[in-house]
Amino acid sequence: MNNERKMHLNLFLSSMGHHEASWRYPDSPTDQLMNFSYYKDLVQKAEQAKMDSVFLADRTSLSPQSVKHGSSASFEPTTLLSALAVVTEKIGLIATVSTSFNEPYNIARRFASLDFLSNGRAGWNIITSGTDSEAQNFNLETIPDHAIRYKRAKEFLDVTIKLWDSWEDDAIVLNKKTGIFADSQKVHEINHKGEFFQIRGPLNIPRSPQKRPVLVQAGTSEDGKEFAAKYAEAIFTAQQTFIDARAFYLDVKERVIKHGRNPDQVKILPGICPIIGETEKEVKERENRLQELMNFEHSLIQLSNRVGIDLTSASLDEPLPALPDIDEIQGHKSRTQLIIELAQRENLTLRQLLIRLGGGRGHHTIVGTPQKIADELEYWFLNGAADGFNIMPQVMNPDFDRFINLVIPELQKRGLFRTEYTGNTLRDNYKLNKPENQFMTI
């Protein structure tokens, strides 16, 4: 089969893997946790495999339990990606940054800089954050309400986009004879006065190679989907089943159309957490081994943090205790909903639920041979549930190597994934248009 439409593959880069016990896995090189060369090798391998992009998540707090039991050390995403930009050429570089604990001017500069450093490969995963522990590192006691966070995120995006546009494309003159560096008529103050921000502008960095970095979003609540429909060019999402993924895909694409945008210009990438092996027996053994390495006390604390309710005294052998109505959850709404639905649908005890979440925090886990994994990706891709996938190996070593050496060639053989890059920027990889500049009159 030689499809015109190819799937997009992003590597969700995590230090040792997405299984919560991956760092304890015997082959995991934990001594490399803060070693740049380790990440350089992973990203260069992803580029050799022609993956579209790599992505770094971020959380700006650390609980004492994570210090003790979790693999908690990590780089600040835009810093690590700036270093990776100079040792790669084609692969996109997507960093997570929260709109709740930053200022637009700083973030606009930071992403424009990454876009220049990488010659047009920057992407921003826009998050609103969701925990009190993060708020407590930024002058607050508790996390602002969900609706307020999204309101701030909208204003944040509107002004950040204005700042990126504040230099018209041809503003730079560089005339040594006349001494004119830039045409001041083409560099604009934005003079924004809103509910959350007051910003004069212009930005102190010209319009970057992609015009704007690619905007990525990963919230799936009602507010999250509306936000994505208005701004996002790529969407990462956690979906447990094909049916849920298809419903989400249709819902978001319809919302995109309602916002007057082209649905092909918004790429939807559900997360996939594979354990890959030559035989079903081998992968089952690895799955069991990872479960043995889990620390349920720590898993329960992580689940409590995720849903924003203290579950640490709940019995592991009983069902998940009743949680407040989803409208009352002020943290990560959609993930909480997913967890409740998973526990109810499969009638899981709390221990079984923690095991299910251990492999990918609610993302879709697949355990099997390369063919089985390729079959599933093909099915979701060809049947309206995905434009591509966010690949989250459960254990980096060996699942990432196996994904690029065994699954990607299988997808290429089936005509579903590129064999060569056809451009140089993240927009080229994701087949996204360059945005117009709101200050330019044609």
Ligand X SMILES: Cc1cc2nc3c(=O)[nH]c(=O)nc-3n(C[C@H](O)[C@H](O)[C@H](O)COP(=O)(O)O)c2cc1C
**Interacting residue ranges for ligand X, rule: CB under 6 A:** 57-59, 96, 127-130, 218-221, 223-224, 236-238, 271, 332-335, 390
Please identify, using beta-carbon distances, which residue of 128 and 429 lies nearer to ligand X: 128
- Prior bond to 202 cis, omega within 30? yes
Please identify, using beta-carbon distances, which residue of 129 and 166 lies nearer to ligand X: 129
Please identify, using beta-carbon distances, which residue of 94 and 112 lies nearer to ligand X: 94
Dist. CA 225–CA 245, nearest whole Å: 14
Token pair recorded at residue 279 = 């035989």
Smallest distance from ligand X to CB 369, Å: 25
Nearest to 81 by CA among 273, 216, 267: 216
**Are the C-beta atoms of residues 358 and 19 closer than 8 Å to each other?**
yes
Smallest distance from ligand X to CB 419, Å: 26
**Are the C-beta atoms of residues 74 and 66 closer than 8 Å to each other?**
no
Dist. CA 66–CA 125, nearest whole Å: 23
Smallest distance from ligand X to CB 284, Å: 26
Please identify, using beta-carbon distances, which residue of 268 and 275 lies nearer to ligand X: 268
Please identify, using beta-carbon distances, which residue of 207 and 332 lies nearer to ligand X: 332
Q: What are phi and psi of 272, to 5 degrees?
A: -130, 125
Please identify, using beta-carbon distances, which residue of 59 and 372 lies nearer to ligand X: 59
Token pair recorded at residue 212 = 């704007």
Smallest distance from ligand X to CB 36, Å: 20
CB atoms near residue 3 (< 10 Å): 12
Smallest distance from ligand X to CB 56, Å: 8
Please identify, using beta-carbon distances, which residue of 245 and 353 lies nearer to ligand X: 245
Nearest to 72 by CA among 80, 61, 83: 61
CB atoms near residue 139 (< 10 Å): 7
Smallest distance from ligand X to CB 202, Å: 29
Smallest distance from ligand X to CB 408, Å: 20
Name the burial class of residue 26, with classes exposed (0-12), middle (13-18) and buried (19+) by CB atoms within 10 angstroms of its CB: exposed
Nearest to 7 by CA among 388, 280, 276: 388
Nearest to 41 by CA among 401, 370, 393: 401
Q: Would you call 92 helix, strand, or coil by DSSP?
A: strand
Please name the amino acid found at residue 181: F
Smallest distance from ligand X to CB 10, Å: 9
Please identify, using beta-carbon distances, which residue of 127 and 343 lies nearer to ligand X: 127
